[in-house]
Amino acid sequence: MQENVQQSMQQSIWSSVISLLVLGKPHWRSLAISFVFMAILGMATGLLAFLMGPAIQFVLSGGAEGLGLLSRYWPEVAALPKEKLAWLLPGIAIVVGAVKGLAYLGQFYFSGWFGELTVSDLRRQFFLNALQLSPSQTSQLQVGDLLSRFSTDISAVEAAATWTIASWLRDSIQVVVLLCVAFFLSWQLSLGLCLAIPLIVFPAIRWMRKLMARMRESQISQGVVAAQVAQSLATLRSLQAYGAEAFEQRRFEKCATQTSKALRHAAWTRAKGPALMEILIAIALAVILAGVGSFSWLETDVLLSFVATLLLIYHPAKELGRLSQLAIPAATALERILAVSPKKEKETGLPSKASSLKMEEGIVFDIVFEDVSFSWGERQVLEHLSFKIPQGGITALVGQSGGGKSTIIHLLMGFEKAQKGRILIGGVLLEEFCLQEIRSKFALVTQEAMLFSGSILENLLLAKPKAQLEEVEQALKVAQLHEFVCQLPDGLDTRIGEKGFWLSGGQRQKLCLARALLSDAPILVLDEATSNLDAESEREFQMALEEAWKDKTTFVVAHRIATIQKADQICVLEGGRIIESGTHAELLTSGGIYADYCAGQTRS
C-alpha cells in the first residue's frame, strides 16, 4: 500500500509538471532560451571544477610542478612562463565567473518570464472554467473555496512556474555535468559517489510523500476557512439581525483551529526535509572523502579537482531537495485549480463550440418537452414530464417549492442534461444546437437580482456590449425605470453597489428586466422574478412585464397567482409531472389543484 501511495505521489508531481508545461506551450521559446543559459551555466561550473586542482597545485608549488592535469589537454598554455601563468589562471577564473553570472542572469530572466506568462494563462483558464460551471457543480463548490484556489493556490503555482521548475532543471544540469567531470577525473571514486546516492534519495522520497499529504490537508483547510468568511460576509445583515455574531465567531474559531493544526503539521514536515538532506549529504560526502585517502596513487591535481567537484555538487544537490518544498505545494495547488472545470460536452449533451445548425431568424420557437425525467442525486425531480411552450405566447408554470420548476429552466438553457426523454426547440433536438446559440435566444430574470457593483449602464451592457444609447433608453422605458434613472445625478453612470445594494428590490428587478429586454432575445424566462417583492413593487413590475412580453415567447415560473393570471397557458406541476393546464379562468372553473391553490392564496 505504501508503494501505491508513493507511486501516486510521484505521478501527481510529474503530472502537475507536465500539465504546467502544457499550459506554457505557447511560451516555449522563453523556456528554451532559459534552458540554453542553464546548459552554459552547467558547463561553466564543470570547467571551474576541472581547473580547480591544477590551479591550486600551481599556486601551492609556486609553479614548480606545472599545471599537471591541465598540461595534458592544453599544452600550449602549460608551455608559457610561470610569470604569465600567474596572471592567466586568475584571468580564466574571472572569465568563467563572468560567464556563470551572465548565464544566471539569462536563466532567471527567461524562466521568470515563462512562469509569469504561463500563470497568466492559468488565471484566465481558471476564470473561464468558473464561468462555465453548471448549477449542479456550483452547488458543490463554495465561493470562498474558489477564491482560495484563485489566490492562494495560483500563487503557489506561480512560485513553481517562475522559479522552481527552472531551478530544478538548472541544478539537475549542474549535478549531471559535475558527475561527468567526476567520472572523467576518476571513475573508481565516482562509482563510490553513485553508491551514496540511494542514501539520500530514498529518505527524500519518503519525506516528499508525507509532505504531499500534509500540504493537501492544509490547502483544503484554508479553502474551508475562506469559504466560511465569504459566506459570513454574504449573510452579514442576517447575522447581525439575529445577534448571531458570537455563534459565527465560534464557528470560525473552530475552522481556524483546524487550519492552524493542518498548517503546523505541514510546517513540521516541511522543516524536517532540509535538516534531513543536510545530514544525509554531509554523511555521504564524509564517507566519500574518507575513501579518497585510500586512493594515494591519484595525482595531486586530480585529487584536488575531484574534491572541488564534490564540494560544487553539494550546493545544487541540496537545492534540489529544498525545491521540493515549493514543488509539492504547487503540485497539490495545481490539482485543486484544474479540478475546477466545466462539464464536458458528453455530460451536458450540448456542443460547447459553434455547430453547423443555427437558429435562423423567423424560426418557429415552439418548445416541447417529451417524456423528460431528471433527478438531483437520489431525489427524483421530474418524471415523464411532457408539455409545450408555444411561440409568441405566455406559458406559466406553477407548483410547490422544490417541485422542479427551476430544474426545467436549467434543462432548457443547457445547464443540465435530461436523463430521459428529449427537448425540442422549433422541432429540432436541443442537443443539435451549441450552448452559445441556445442561450443567446433566452433572456433570464431570476428570483435573486443578479447585479454587479458597477454602474447602471455597465450592468445593462452585460446583455449587449455594443448597444446604442437609444436601445438602452428604450429598454429602461419598457421596464418603467427610465424616469428613475433620469432623476439620478449621474444617470446611467450611477454606481449601484454590491449586488445593487443602493437600489430597492423593485428597482433591482426592473433593472434586470431592462437588461433582459436589451438582449433582444426572442424567449423571455422569468424564474420567480416577483417572489421577493412587496405588493406595490410587484404591481409595478407586473405593469412593466405587460409591455415587455409583447412579441416574445414568455415562460414564467411563479407561485404567486397575480403574476400569471394573464398567461395564455398555465401548467400545474406536481410530482414531477404536469397534471393540469389551461388558462386562469379554465383552471378555476375545473375546480382542481390550481383552484385550491388560488383559494389558499386568497385566504392568506
Q: Of all residues in the chain, what percent are helix, strand and coil, respectively (each to 5)?
A: 65, 10, 25
| Grid-cell match 544566471, residue found | 104
Q: Is the pLDDT of residue 326 over 70?
A: no
Q: Is the pLDDT of residue 332 over 70?
A: yes
Q: Is the pLDDT of residue 61 over 50?
A: yes
Per-residue pLDDT, 299: 72
Q: Is the pLDDT of residue 519 over 80?
A: yes
The phi and psi torsions of 356 (rounded to 5 degrees) equal: -75, -20
If you average pLDDT over each of 2-16, 122-136, 491-505, which comes out highest? 491-505
Q: Is the pLDDT of residue 474 over 60?
A: yes
Whole-angstrom distance, CA of residue 100 vs CA of residue 22? 29
CA dihedral for 224, 230, 233, 239, sign (positive or negative): negative
pLDDT band with cut points at 50, 70 and 90 for residue 100 = confident
463 vs 539, higher pLDDT: 463
Q: Is the pLDDT of residue 590 over 80?
A: yes
- Kindly report which listed range (67-81, 332-346, 457-471) carries the lowest average pLDDT score: 67-81
Mean pLDDT of 489-515: 83
Cα of first residue to Cα of last residue in the chain, in angstroms, is: 64
pLDDT band with cut points at 50, 70 and 90 for residue 454 = confident
65 vs 464, higher pLDDT: 464
Q: Is the pLDDT of residue 5 over 60?
A: no
- Kindly report which listed range (19-23, 542-546, 549-553) carries the lowest average pLDDT score: 542-546
Reduced to 3 states, what is the DSSP secondary structure of residue 601? helix
CB of 30 within 8 A of CB of 117? yes
C-alpha distances out from residue 351 to 127, 131, 358, 435, Å: 20, 16, 12, 6
Reduced to 3 states, what is the DSSP secondary structure of residue 474? helix
CB of 31 within 8 A of CB of 93? no
Q: Is the pLDDT of residue 2 over 70?
A: no
**pLDDT tens profile 174-203:** 888 888 888 887 777 777 667 766 666 667
Mean pLDDT of 255-267: 78
CB of 500 within 8 A of CB of 533? no
Domains annotated on the chain, with CATH = 26-345 (1.20.1560.10), 365-441+522-530+553-604 (3.40.50.300), 449-521 (3.40.50.300)
Pick from 310, 319, 67: which is nearest to 183 by CA?
A: 310
Q: Is the pLDDT of residue 256 over 50?
A: yes
Mean pLDDT of 241-264: 76
pLDDT band with cut points at 50, 70 and 90 for residue 604 = low
**pLDDT tens profile 337-359:** 777 777 654 445 555 544 444 55
Whole-angstrom distance, CA of residue 235 vs CA of residue 233? 5
Q: Is the pLDDT of residue 457 over 80?
A: yes
Reduced to 3 states, what is the DSSP secondary structure of residue 270? helix
**pLDDT tens profile 75-93:** 666 666 666 766 777 787 8
Of all residues in the chain, the percent with pLDDT exceeding 90 is 0
Per-residue pLDDT, 135: 64
CB of 205 within 8 A of CB of 74? no
Q: Is the pLDDT of residue 522 over 60?
A: yes
Per-residue pLDDT, 315: 75
Q: Is the pLDDT of residue 1 over 50?
A: no
Whole-angstrom distance, CA of residue 425 vs CA of residue 368? 7
Q: Is the pLDDT of residue 15 over 60?
A: yes
342: DSSP letter: P
Mean pLDDT of 120-142: 76
Q: How many CB atoms lie within 10 A of CB 543?
A: 11
CB of 104 within 8 A of CB of 41? yes
Whole-angstrom distance, CA of residue 599 vs CA of residue 582? 17
Mean pLDDT of 203-223: 71
Whole-angstrom distance, CA of residue 486 vs CA of residue 490? 8
Q: How many CB atoms lie within 10 A of CB 160?
A: 27
pLDDT band with cut points at 50, 70 and 90 for residue 263 = confident
Per-residue pLDDT, 354: 44
Per-residue pLDDT, 356: 41
Mean pLDDT of 360-374: 76
Per-residue pLDDT, 550: 72
Per-residue pLDDT, 8: 44
20 vs 455, higher pLDDT: 455
pLDDT band with cut points at 50, 70 and 90 for residue 136 = low
- Kindly report which listed range (107-116, 250-259, 317-326) carries the lowest average pLDDT score: 317-326
Pick from 147, 291, 289, 317: which is nearest to 227 by CA?
A: 147
Mean pLDDT of 364-389: 85
Per-residue pLDDT, 7: 44
Average pLDDT of every residue of the chain: 76
